Amino acid sequence: MPLVPVRDLLFDARERGYAVGAFNCNNMEIVQAIVGAAQAERSPVIIQASQGAIKYAGLEYISALGRLAAEKATIPVALHLDHGTSFEQVVQCIRHGFSSVMIDGSKLSFEDNVSLTLEVIKVARAVGVSVEAELGKIGGTEDDITVSEREVALTDPQEAKEFAERTGVDALAVAIGTAHGVYKGKPELDFDRLREISNLIDIPIVLHGSSGVPEEDIRKAVQIGVRKVNIDTDVREAFMEGVKEVLVSSPEEIDPRKVLGPGREKMEERIRLKMRIFGSSGKA
Ligand code: 13P
C-alpha cells in the first residue's frame, strides 16, 4: 500500500494505547529488516532517515527504498525524516515522497522553534505530510548531531503545553532523560515529567534515544502516553552482531550476501521484539 503519514499511525496508537516503533535506516538490508519484522508481527511501522543516512545513502535511494517497501507491504508503513535541520531539507524530503517529517528546532529559542515549526506545518499540511517537532534538548550523538551533557535540557511541561497549543503539531519529541547512542550507565527517565506533559497536551509524544532503555521503562512510558518510540543503535548493534558472527566463523568469506544476510536476520529478530514491547504487534 502507499506510504501513510505518521499522524494516522499515531492516531490509532493513541486510540488503542500502544506505541509505533520508528526505526532508522541506512541501506536496503535495514529497510527490509524493518518491513519484514512489521509484516511478521502484523504491526504498523515507521522507517526513518537521519542526517547521516541521507549523507550515506542519498535522499533518492532512501526515498525509493522506503516507497518500494511500503508498496510491497500489507501493513501500514510511514517514511519519516528524523531530526530535519532546515525548512529546505523538509521540502526536499516532501518532494521525494516522504509521508512525514521532523523539524528539529530544539537548539533555537522557544519563539524561533514555534515559528520554524509553523512554517513547516504550513507547507507539509498542504500535501498531507505530518510534522514532528522537538522541545527540550535530548542528549547524546546521532550521526552528525551531538548534544553534550551540559547542553541537555529536559522539556518544561508548561512550555510543552504552550508549544502544542500554538503550533498544533502532529507529534512532539520531549526530553525526559533518554539520550541518542549507547548509554554509559542505566538511563534515568523522568516519569513524573512525562506524566505531567501527557496530562497537559493532547498531541502524541515521541521518545528519542530509546535503544538501551530497559524494557519495563519503555512499557511504562507507553502506558503514560508515548506513542512513537525511536530506535537506531539497537538495530545497528543487531546488524553488526550478525555480520561479526559470520566474519569470525568464516573469515575467508568473500560473498557480501553471506555476510549481510545474517545481519538482516538479526535485525529483524530484534525489531520484532521491540514491536512486542511497544504493543504494536497485531495492530495492523
Ligand atoms: P537510539 O540510537 O538511542 O536508539 O536513538 C534513536 C533516535 O532517537 C533517533 O531519532
Tell me if 231 CB under 6 Å of ligand 1.
yes
38-87 confidence digits (pLDDT tens): 999 999 999 999 999 999 999 999 999 999 999 999 999 999 999 999 99
Whether residue 242 has pLDDT greater than 80: yes
CATH code of 37's domain: 3.20.20.70
Domain range holding 203? Answer: 6-278
Tell me if 181 CB under 6 Å of ligand 1.
yes
- Kindly give the pairing relationship between strand 20-24 and strand 226-231: parallel
Ligand 1 centroid from CA 182, angstroms: 9
Which atom number of ligand 1 is nearest to the Cα of residue 207?
8
Domain tally, the chain: 1
Quick check: is 91 in a domain? yes
Tell me if 217 CB under 6 Å of ligand 1.
no
CB atoms within 10 A of CB 145: 18
Quick check: is 109 in a domain? yes
Quick check: is 284 in a domain? no
Quick check: is 1 in a domain? no
Ligand 1 centroid from CA 231, angstroms: 5
pTM for this prediction: 0.96
Q: Using alpha carbons, list the distances in angstroms from residue 71 to 28, 45, 130, 217, 264.
A: 15, 13, 19, 34, 20
Tell me if 178 CB under 6 Å of ligand 1.
no
Quick check: is 31 in a domain? yes
Quick check: is 75 in a domain? yes
Task: Assess whether 82 carries a catalytic annotation.
Answer: yes
Instruction: Please tell me the predicted confidence (pLDDT) of residue 142.
Output: 74
Quick check: is 283 in a domain? no
